[in-house]
Structure 1
Amino acid sequence: MKVEVTHHAVEKAVTSLRIKRKIADEWVRSNVKKARYIADIIAEDGTPSRLFAGGKVTFVLDQNRDRIITLYPDTNPASSVRSKVETIVTKELRKVERKERKHQREAKIAKLELAVERAACLLRAEKTRSQSVKLSMAARVAAIDQYIEQLDHDLAEVQAEKRRVAKAAAAYMI
């Protein structure tokens, strides 16, 4: 796997992990190859990413390309507790992933149904001559749009929760 390393990732390796600048790029490449996949996450800025952890370092890679976006050091828990905690954290991560898939599916179906209803309202408003019907249809379209925004917001919250759990899981899976 050919891995591209961003300038930001090299800077983080130099500043956070105290790797020499000359070898930072190659160090990041070699360590990400040893890292273990944790989960697909949605970053704070909304971009889909993949989370890897290994060698006391967590790596965030681009969703579609093998490009390291950033990295940060992990705190390694005591090994005696680690395996038990890792099992619990893995279960929690799977639970959050199921919740995210369920929410995505439900939101997608609701959006499709709302799109049909919205189109029907727009058509009815266009066909009628009654001003009150036009106003009521415009109000309904606005309510539908607001509900769709709420669905998107709820999905973003679930994705943020998954991101937090995945990052916590990364600390125990190294």
Structure 2
Amino acid sequence: MKISVTQHAIDAAISRFRVDRRIAEEWIRSGFRQARFVADIISEEGNPCRLFAGKHVTFILDAREDRVVTIYPSEVRALSVREKVESIINRELRKIERKESATVKRNHLSRLELNVERAACLLRAEKSRSQSVKLAMQARIAAIDEYLTQLNEDIEKIRHEKRKIAKAVAAYVV
């Protein structure tokens, strides 16, 4: 796989790993070749990314392109129990991935149903001449919008948890 390296990743290699600027890009590519895929994550900025780890370095790649966005050190703190901890963390990662996919699917269906109901309320409010019906429909639309926001927040909360677990897995991959 031919990867490109962002300037931010090169700067991170220089500052975090004390790599010479002239060889930083090749150092990142070389380290990435030995890295293992950990998980697809959503970055703190909300961008989809792929997390790889290997040789005490964590690599964050763009989800759509083979481009290293940033790197940072993976710290293994308990070497004697690393394998046990790694298996537990991997199990947790698989569990959160299943939870994420189930929640996304369930929320997607709920969103579709709520959008249909919202459209029906808009239509009813538009057709009606009664002010009380219009107010009731506006209230129902506001409630639907609030619930849609809550569904999105639930997914984001699970993705944040997945990102934390994926970073923990990366810390234990050598």
TM-score by length of 2: 0.97
Q: CA deviation at 1:86?
A: 1.1
Aligned positions of 1:23-62 closer than 5 A: 23-62=23-62
Equivalent residue for 1:102? 102
**1:6 corresponds to:** 6
- Give the corresponding residue for 1:140: 140
Give me the whole-angstrom Cα distance separating, in 1, the residues matched to 2:143 and 2:84. 48
Secondary structure at the residue paired with 1:112? Answer: helix
Partners of 2:61 and 2:162 lie apart in 1 by 16
Superimposed CA distance per residue, residues 142-170 of structure 1 (whole angstroms, 9 cap, x where no aligned partner): 11011101111111110000000000111
Equivalent in the alignment of 1:156 = 156
Cα distance between partner residues in 2 of 1:108 and 1:165: 24
- Residue 23 of structure 2: SS of its match in structure 1? helix
Match of 1:167 in 2: 167
Deviation at 1:76, TM superposition (A): 2.4
The aligned residue for residue 120 of structure 1 is: 120
Which runs of at least 4 in structure 1 moved beyond 4 Å after TM superposition? none
Amino acid at match of 1:169: V
What corresponds to 1:17 in structure 2? 17
**Unpaired stretches in structure 2, ≥5 consecutive residues:** none
* Structure 2 equivalent of residue 75 of structure 1: 75
CA distance in 2, matches of 1:48, 1:33: 21
Count of residues paired in the alignment: 174
Partners in 1 of 2:101 and 2:163 — Cα distance?
A: 14
Whole-angstrom CA distance in 2 between matches of 1:63 and 1:35: 16
Three-state SS of the structure 1 residue aligned to 2:2 is coil
Distance between the aligned counterparts of 2:125 and 2:94, measured in 1? 46
Q: Which amino acid aligns with 2:91?
A: K
Cα drift, residue 5 of structure 1: 0.3
Structure 1 residue 23 displacement after superposition? 0.1
Deviation of 1:84 after TM superposition, in Å, equals 1.1
| Kept after mapping to 1: 8 A contact 2:56/2:173 | no
Q: Distance in 1 between matches of 2:50 and 2:68?
A: 9
* Root mean square deviation of aligned Cα: 0.9
Q: What runs of 5+ residues in structure 1 fail to find an aligned partner?
A: none
Aligned residue type for 1:61: L
1:61 aligned counterpart, secondary structure: strand
Deviation at 1:85, TM superposition (A): 1.1
Q: SS state of the match for residue 132, structure 1? A: helix
